[in-house]
Structure 1
Amino acid sequence: MGNRWGIPKDVETQVRERDLSCVYCGTSFTNSAQTHKTRATWEHIVNDVKLNNSDNIALCCRSCNSSKGSKLLKHWLECPYCLRKGITKDSVATIVEIHLSQNNKI
C-alpha cells in the first residue's frame, strides 16, 4: 500500500507524474503551504474506493474536489460551480474525457 488513502505506491507515482495541474479546472499545483487552492488532492473519477488504479485516480485542486464530492461526474459537470468556472466535458484533462466517453456510470 502506498498512502493513507490505500492508493498503491506505483499508482501514486504514475498519477503524480501525469497530473501536474487539476484534471478538472487546470489550476497548476504548487507545494506552497500558503494556499489550499493550488495544493493537489486525490480524486476518484468514478466514486468507488475499490478502483485504485491510475485510470481512476487523479489529482485535482481542493476546490474542485470539495465541489464534486460524491456526485456523479456527468451531474457535477452541470452544476453551478462548473458553469461558473467554465469546466465542461471538453475542457477537462484527457483521463477524465476518457471516462466520460467510456462510462455511463460516472
Structure 2
Amino acid sequence: MANNWGIPKDVENVVRLRDGACVYCGVDFSIAHASRKTKPTWEHIVNDIRINGVNNIALCCTSCNASKGAKLIEDWLRSSYCLSKGISFDSVAQVVKDAILNPPTLVG
C-alpha cells in the first residue's frame, strides 16, 4: 500500500502498528482476503488531507472508505451502510472515538 497522501513516515509507521483491523468495521488486515473491499486503505477521520497526525490518520477497509467518502464522521455513522453493518460510535476503534470527541485540527 503506497502512501500517496503526504502522510509523514513516522505517522505511517505508528498507524500501521496500531490499526491491524479496519477502524470502522473491524475487518482483520492480518489475514488474506479475496475481495479488494477488505483491503486496508488510508483514511482521514476528519476529512481534511492537511491533518496528517496519528490522531486523524487511520487504516480502514476499502468498503468503509468508499462508503464514508467526504461525509462527516458523525453523519456517516447514521448512514444505512453503518446501520446495516452494526457500525456505531460504540463499535469503532478508540482513535475514531477520540477524533469525534476531540476533533483533530490543523497545527500551525
> Please, what TM-score do these two structures have when normalized by structure 2?
0.88
Residue equivalent to 2:39: 39
Q: Which amino acid aligns with 2:93?
A: A
Residue equivalent to 1:89: 89
Q: How many residues align?
A: 103
Q: Distance in 2 between the 1:54 and 1:40 partners?
A: 16
Q: Which amino acid aligns with 2:77?
A: L
Structure 1 position 86, deviation (Å): 0.3
Q: Which amino acid aligns with 1:6?
A: G
Structure 1 position 5, deviation (Å): 1.2
Task: Write out per-residue CA displacement over residues 62-89 of structure 1, whole angstroms, 9 at most, x where no aligned residue.
Answer: 0000000000000000000000000000
Gaps of 5+ in 2: 104-108
Structure 1 position 99, deviation (Å): 1.3
CA contact (8 A) 1:30 1:39 kept: no
Residue equivalent to 2:24: 24
Residue equivalent to 1:68: 68
Q: Distance in 1 between the 2:79 and 2:72 partners?
A: 11
Q: Which amino acid aligns with 1:5?
A: W
CA RMSD in angstroms comes to 1.8
Q: Sequence identity of aligned pairs in percent?
A: 56
